[in-house]
């Protein structure tokens, strides 16, 4: 993780299951300042 990179903690919000796969929707919240930001999303699966 770079010096200017922020980490966004996410959690699973909902899952849609299909016969050939699934969609996993995640949500999280982060405060950003004005200007260019690089954000990496990470998850906590329980």
pTM: 0.58
Residue 4 CB partners (closer than 8 Å, separation 6+): 37, 38
pLDDT in tens, 5-40: 888 888 899 999 999 999 999 999 989 889 888 888
Contacts of residues 10-16 at CB distance under 8 Å and 24 or more positions apart, as own/partner, are: 10/41, 10/42, 10/43, 10/44, 11/43, 11/44, 11/45, 12/43, 12/45
The answer on pLDDT for 44 being more than 70 is: no
């Amino acid at each position: 993780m770079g010096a200017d990179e922020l980490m966004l903690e996410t959690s699973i919000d909902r899952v849609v299951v299909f016969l050939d796969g699934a969609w996993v929707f995640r949500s999280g919240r982060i405060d950003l300042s004005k200007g260019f930001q690089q954000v990496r999303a990470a998850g906590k699966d329980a």
